[in-house]
């Protein structure tokens, strides 16, 4: 079965045709439980997110700040497995018809088996994978199987990336380019900063892929700010924090749906 890279491409193109950025939400699988995580992903998509990244919880998430680390710890203590991540993708995609990617560090995929992981992610209806710690020069095996199964390979670029390095990364990627707005880990911040706009400009000079900005966006005003210059706005920690702060799982899901609606207004310039 082929994955949903075409759905991802079409979704990002449709947002551009509407004259706006896409809203991409991030939520870890298995948090607060597997079933609760599925409901949260569906709520983000129903509330206004165009795309969701489902995080594969990892014990050493080098890109993730304390909020997402806390959620990952809860998921791992609950016994979340790759099968649960794939189930989250399958059920949320079937319920909403929207593109869903997995964001994962390389080690779990490598241990699971690249061929097995790509085949099962495609069968679940996934659109692709974001692999923040997989070097482009070591990604050939992954990209071969991802392409065979109709999955996007999204690489991360950073403000420190030189122009020639940006060109190397974007040439190997598909779906979109994840532009980290600043050096550091995920988390909410007071401002996203000028570094992100400069990185988007330099990245666009190397590729026709959409360039989507993450790290630090947490409210509609920031989403509107980033939407002025990026093809997509990626929000993770703010969604997770809403769930962590909620008194129970149902309230957490409702809070995710509400935040998605607020941010969807932001990417449309209505913050």
Beta bridge partner(s), residue 103: 55, 130
Q: Hey, which residues are catalytic here?
A: 53, 64
State the Cα–Cα distance between residues 248 and 25, nearest whole angstrom: 21
List CB contacts of 31: < 8 A, sequence separation 6 or more: 37, 40, 57, 71, 72, 74, 75, 78, 80, 240, 243
List CB contacts of 236: < 8 A, sequence separation 6 or more: 25, 26, 27, 53, 55, 68, 186, 214
Q: With helix as H, strand as E and coil as C, how does 87-106 read? A: HHHHHHHHHHCCCEEEECCH
- Is the separation of the CB atoms in 122 and 2 below 8 Å? yes
């Amino acid at each position: 079965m082929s994955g949903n890279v075409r759905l991802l491409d079409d979704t990002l193109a449709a947002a551009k045709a509407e004259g706006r950025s896409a809203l991409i939400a991030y939520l870890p699988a298995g948090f607060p439980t597997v079933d609760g995580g599925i409901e949260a992903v569906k709520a983000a998509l129903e509330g206004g997110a165009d795309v969701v990244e489902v995080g594969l919880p990892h014990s050493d998430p080098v890109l993730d700040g304390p909020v997402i680390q806390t959620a990952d710890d809860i998921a791992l203590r609950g016994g979340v497995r790759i099968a649960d991540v794939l189930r989250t993708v399958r059920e949320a995609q079937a319920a909403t018809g929207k593109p869903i990617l997995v964001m994962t560090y390389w080690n779990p995929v490598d241990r699971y088996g690249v061929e097995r992981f790509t085949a099962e992610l495609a069968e679940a209806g996934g659109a692709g994978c974001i692999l923040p710690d997989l070097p482009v020069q070591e990604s050939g095996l992954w990209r071969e199987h991802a392409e065979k199964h109709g999955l996007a390979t999204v690489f991360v670029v950073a403000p420190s990336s030189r122009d020639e390095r940006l060109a190397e990364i974007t040439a190997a990627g598909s779906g979109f380019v994840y532009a980290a707005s600043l050096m550091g880990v995920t988390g909410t911040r007071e401002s996203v900063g000028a570094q992100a706009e400069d990185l988007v400009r330099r990245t666009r000079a190397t590729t026709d892929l959409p360039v989507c900005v993450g790290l630090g966006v947490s409210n509609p005003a920031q989403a509107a700010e980033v939407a002025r210059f990026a093809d997509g706005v990626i929000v993770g920690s703010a969604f997770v924090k809403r769930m962590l702060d909620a008194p129970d799982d149902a309230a957490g899901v409702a809070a995710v749906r509400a935040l998605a609606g607020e941010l969807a207004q932001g990417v449309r310039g209505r913050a």
